């Protein structure tokens, strides 16, 4: 699985330190080598290849030729903090579709999000068809109609307001195997990547919590969301061009922290 060019290898042991499942060993000043059975236990994280400063190591499961350099142009801490504190949920969208190229860019970023043990079990549905979005609204309202705690949503919907998707022109749905323990957590991280990038692109997002909750209760909603049998929804967010612009950062509760 692992091959090392001894002429390039600095014998610094960085690959040994980087492997999260201890599949590489190094005896003294020798060239590192994989341990027996490594190919069966490798999680394909790519760390062994990514940390080698001399490009001496290759992993057949994640070939070095498929890697790309880490971008040098990255936001500093202040710019990143400004993005995080200024991001707002959009609950009013313009009637303007998002270009497919922009949606593909969001998906590209989301697929880079970390997953448990690099499992990469997530799949996506990007819904743009107006009739399909209407079907999602219809089934979600049907789910809420039998729940007194959601009666205000139902009444608002009867008044003509879209309480499900807020007139968003796209809905990103992330899903994974029903028996995979981390579908919701992995999905949440991926959707967070997506919404933060969307904020830098001038797009609005809002977590579709009602759709996510309804998907667990109404079997007919899963096909409408493009989720195949055997999978469950890990989360969803509305996407669109925001109708409103936030000029202030609202207050939030102080962090409740226990320092130990």
38: pLDDT strictly greater than 90? no
Query: Could you tell me the CA-to-CA distances from 88 to 79, 110, 206, 224 in Å, in that order?
Result: 16, 19, 8, 28
- 183 secondary structure, DSSP code: H
* 128-184 pLDDT tens trace: 999 999 999 999 999 998 888 888 989 999 899 999 999 999 999 999 999 999 999
Average pLDDT over residues 2-22: 95
Confidence of residue 222 (pLDDT cuts 50, 70, 90): very high
Question: pLDDT value at position 121?
Answer: 97
For the chain, what is the total number of helices (H) and then of strands (E)?
10, 8
For 210, the token pair is 């009602």
What is the rounded average pLDDT for all residues in the chain? 95
Average pLDDT over residues 107-111: 97
Confidence of residue 29 (pLDDT cuts 50, 70, 90): confident
Considering only CA atoms, which of 35, 57, 56, 30 is closest in space to residue 46?
57
79: pLDDT strictly greater than 90? yes
122: pLDDT strictly greater than 90? yes
Considering only CA atoms, which of 134, 212, 142 is closest in space to residue 173?
212
pTM above 0.85, yes or no: yes
Full set of structural domains in the chain with CATH: 11-66 (3.30.70), 81-240 (3.40.109.10)
Is 235:174 a contact under the CB 8 Å cutoff? yes
């Amino acid at each position: 699985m692992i091959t090392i060019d001894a002429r390039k290898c600095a014998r610094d042991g960085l690959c040994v330190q980087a492997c999260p499942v201890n599949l590489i060993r190094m005896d003294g000043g020798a060239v590192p080598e994989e341990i027996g059975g490594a190919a069966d236990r490798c999680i394909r994280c790519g760390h062994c290849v990514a940390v080698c400063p001399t490009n001496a190591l290759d992993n057949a499961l994640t070939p070095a030729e498929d890697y790309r350099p880490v971008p040098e142009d990255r936001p500093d801490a202040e710019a990143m903090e400004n993005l995080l504190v200024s991001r707002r949920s959009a609950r009013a969208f313009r009637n303007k579709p998002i270009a497919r190229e922009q949606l593909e860019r969001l998906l590209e970023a989301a697929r880079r999000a970390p997953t448990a043990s690099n499992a990469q079990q997530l799949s996506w549905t990007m819904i743009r068809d107006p009739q399909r979005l209407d079907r999602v609204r219809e089934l979600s309202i049907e789910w809420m109609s039998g729940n007194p705690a959601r009666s205000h949503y139902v009444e608002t919907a009867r008044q003509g307001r879209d309480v499900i998707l807020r007139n968003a022109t796209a809905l990103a749905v992330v899903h994974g195997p029903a028996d995979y323990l981390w579908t919701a957590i992995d999905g949440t991280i991926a959707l967070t990547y997506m919404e933060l990038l969307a904020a830098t692109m001038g797009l609005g997002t809002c977590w579709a919590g009602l759709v996510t909750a309804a998907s667990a209760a109404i079997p007919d909603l899963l096909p409408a969301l493009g989720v195949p049998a055997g999978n469950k929804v890990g989360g969803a967010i509305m996407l669109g061009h925001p109708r409103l612009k936030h000029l202030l950062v609202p207050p939030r509760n102080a962090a409740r922290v226990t320092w130990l």
